Structures are given as C-alpha cells and as structure tokens.
Amino acid sequence: MRIVLTHELDQAAELVATEILRQLDKKPKLVLGLATGSTPVGIYRKLAEAHQRGKADFSRVHTFNLDEYLDLPAGHERGYRYFMDEHLFQHINIPRENIHFPPSEGSDLERRCVEFEERILEVGGIDIQVLGIGSNGHIGFNEPMSSLCSRTRIKTLTDKTLTDNSRFYAEGEHQPELAVTMGIGTILDARKIVLQAFGAKKSEAIRATVEGPVSSSCPGSALQLHPATTLYLDPDSASQLRERKYYERAQQLQSKLRQEGRL
Ligand code: GLP
C-alpha cells in the first residue's frame, strides 16, 4: 500500500486525475471503476476540465460504477446514475453504452450481477478503480463483515451507513436500505486502486485499513492484499496512523526516485 499524505483536497484530486489522464493517453480503451460520494467529485471535475480543454478523449473508455441503491427509479436525483451524470458523464464524450452500473431494478438480480461481472471481464478488466471509504470502513457498499472474496451482489446497509447518508435525504423522504455493490473480490481484481479519504470522520477507518489486521470487520483492510493500491489522505483522515512519520519519509524518498525518472 502506498500512502500519499496531501495537504489540500485539491492536491489529491489533481494527483489522481493526472494519473488517470496519463493512463488514458497510453490506453484509449481504458476501463475505469468509479465511486460516488463527496470524495471523488474533485477528480471528476478535473477529468471534465481536461476533456473540455481538448486534452482527454473518453470515446473508447468504459466505466463501471461500484454500486447503486436498489429500486430507486431511473433518473432519481439521489441515485448514483444521476450523481455520475451531474459530476462527470454529461461533461465528457463517453458513449452511453460504455457506462455500466450494477443492476438495481427489476428481477433476476443475481443472474444480472453475474452478467455485470462478465461485462467487466469482456472489456478487459478494470484498469483503475477509484474508491472512497465509509466511516465504518466500507468500500463500495461492502459493509463490515462482507466476505473478502465477495462479488457483485445485494447488500443490506448498516445503521451507521444509513445515518451517514441520511444527510442527502429530506426528513420523511424514503431512504433505501438495500444496495447492489461490486464485491471486495471484484474490487481487488482491478489493476490499480486509488482511494482518497478526507476528514477526521474517516480517521478510524483509515487506521484500520492501513495498520489493522486484514479483517472483514474493516472491508478497506482487504486492500492490503492488493499489489498496487495508493491511498491519498489529508492530515485529518491520517491523524490516527501510528506510522505517519514513516509514510512521510517513504513518500519523500519515493518522489525523489520519481523525479530522477527511475520509477
Ligand atoms: C457511499 C458510497 C461509497 C463512498 C462512501 C463515502 O456509502 N457507497 O462508495 O466511498 O459513501 O462517501 P463520502 O465520499 O461522501 O464520504
């Protein structure tokens, strides 16, 4: 796990967006795994800006979103499709048919979850998976105690997640308790993973993700099993890391190697 300690939210978004654009340059048929929530918004803004400046062509890109609430009608403004349209898809030239979400309406959901996984494989697997993290350590909607090998499926949201996400719902408005999410196994199949975390609310989840044992009680800790994961953390989310000094020193030495063009 590579830890990058950043001082401004914008710096993390810039670093991740630059990495995505660099990969897109090398591979026009890039396959992206995408997250929702407030955390990745800066990345999407920078990707959209790059496209508007004529610097990024998404016409051959495929995207797979991590998760979606079950049974929210298409176009519902709390839905993750709506969120992605608002923040990214309507600002770039990705063909609609290249945008993929796990099945979240209708019947035969288990079979369609398998088809979603097959579609990822058909286009060559996810090159870069963008992640945020829940305050209880969830990635996607893989709540604590999810199998570390899980695949795309329906999950019941925990009370903690429902409370955290209640800020998006008006009083009395129906808040879904079920969601469809890529599994932890699905996420770990990505070639590269980038996870951003901002704010003290995430510090316990980040401590358990980075320094805790690999355990389903913190789904983020499964990322310790992945060979190419980078975490971009602000000072507040990193505040409970015991080895912070070591990560700072490692970051300085590695960036020196990068500047010398040796990495
Ligand atoms: C939701 C999403 C996650 C996201 C998390 C954190 O529960 N399913 O993918 O990482 O929220 O959200 P935020 O970035 O708003 O803190």
Mean local confidence (pLDDT), 28-45? 98
Q: How far is the CA of 41 from the centre of ligand 1 (A)?
A: 11
State the residue for tokens 């300085």: 252
Rounded to the nearest 5°, which phi and psi values hold at 148? Answer: -70, -10
The closest-lying atom of ligand 1 relative to the alpha carbon of residue 157 is 7
pLDDT confidence of residue 263: 85
Rounded to the nearest 5°, which phi and psi values hold at 130? Answer: -90, 130
Of all residues in the chain, the percent with pLDDT exceeding 90 is: 93
Domain ranges of the chain: 2-259
Is the pLDDT assigned to residue 234 strictly greater than 80? Answer: yes
Q: Which fold has domain 2-259?
A: Rossmann fold (3.40.50)
Of 62, 87, 138, 142, which residue is the catalytic one? 138
Mean local confidence (pLDDT), 32-37? 98
CA dist., res. 113 & res. 229, Å (int):
25
Mean local confidence (pLDDT), 39-66? 98
Among 34, 104, 133, residue to substitute to test ligand 1 (most atoms within 8 Å of Cβ)? 133
Q: How far is the CA of 216 from the centre of ligand 1 (A)?
A: 18
Q: What is the pLDDT of residues 122-157, one digit of tens each?
A: 999 999 999 999 999 999 999 999 999 999 999 999
Is the pLDDT assigned to residue 9 strictly greater than 80? Answer: no
Q: What is the pLDDT of residues 245-254, one digit of tens each?
A: 999 999 999 9
Q: What is the pLDDT of residues 64-96, one digit of tens each?
A: 999 999 999 878 999 999 999 999 999 999 999
Assign 8 a pLDDT band (cuts: 50, 70, 90): confident
State the alpha helices, DSSP H only, in the chain. Answer: 9-26, 41-52, 80-87, 109-122, 159-165, 184-188, 203-211, 244-259
Other C-beta atoms closer than 10 Å to the C-beta of 57 total 15
Sign of CA dihedral 39, 41, 44, 50: negative
Contact 215, 249 (CB under 8 A): no
pLDDT, mean over the chain: 96
Quick check: CB of 39 below 6 Å from ligand 1? yes
pLDDT confidence of residue 75: 86
Sign of CA dihedral 249, 251, 255, 258: positive
pLDDT confidence of residue 74: 79
Q: What is the pLDDT of residues 208-225, one digit of tens each?
A: 999 999 999 999 999 999
Q: Which residues contact 167 (CB under 8 A, 6 or more apart)?
A: none
Distances (CA, A) of 42 to 46, 48, 88, 159, 197: 6, 10, 10, 28, 12
